[in-house]
Structure 1
């Protein structure tokens, strides 16, 4: 159905991949590694947090994605659950001055959040893609007849 190898030309002369169904875990992992959730080879992002319009390998359309603020909320929760206990442990164990706590934990928090933001957004896009959320479902419904015709052509 949707997958990663057999290449076929569509009307716009881009190659499209069509084979096995991609699992939810695989689609999210591919997104987390900033690769196309469909083929796993193309780049998901054009810039730091700007999702590409389509995959340069399989031409999967990414314009329907609506990750919005959800990745940022997840990153805040994860980083907060790591940094706050570490900060409290350091305070209770060593009782360093406030300026030292700020000098340590502000950069740790900032770099952790920046490091996790793009992979988290990629995982959310992979989730949306695999579940057919937002406009991805309409894109797949529109492409389904083309894929069915290609499958019948291969059998003949």
Structure 2
């Protein structure tokens, strides 16, 4: 298998797992426990989702994909046709809000799956994450009398 094939397979897996909200490890368990809330761990293979830190990424990408282009369409509509305000209240605002909210779950799933598949984390934070995860599990650091 060529290197390009490996990359495209990883991308397909990331997109599939994220779109379906499935565990990026096994592809069977649920990634989410509610619409945008990640599960603590996979209910099938036990993958701990504490590694996931999509932060504001889903909102940013949703705005870039939907809100910015749609803003240009709305401005064009206003300049070209000069519709009354109610047209924007009935059409533009709901389309913008719904268009930005609907893709959030898939985008968040893609980001979490991508973090897992690519083993992504901030450079130099391995020690900090290990310490925080140990504290969350109730473990103590015996070296520091903890």
TM over 0.5: yes
Instruction: Report whether the alignment pairs 1:76 with 2:63.
Output: yes
Aligned to 1:154: none
Equivalence for 2:91: 104
Paired residue total = 115
Bigger RCO of structures 1 and 2 (CA < 8 A, at least 6 apart) = 2
1:11-35 C-alpha deviation (Å, 9 max, x unpaired): xxxxxxxxxxx72331233112211
RMSD: 2.0
After TM superposition, list the pairs within 5 Å mapping 1:139-154 onto structure 2.
Answer: none
TM-score (norm 1): 0.65
- The alignment's TM-score, normalised by the length of structure 2, stands at 0.69
2:21 aligned to which of 34, 41, 56: 34
Distance 2:72 2:22 in 1: 33
Residue 28 of structure 1 contacts residue 125 of structure 1 at CA under 8 Å; is this kept in 2? no
> Structure 1 residues 29, 81: CA separation in 2 closer, same or farther (over 3 Å shift)?
farther
> Which sections of structure 2, spanning at least 5 residues, go unmatched?
1-8, 127-146
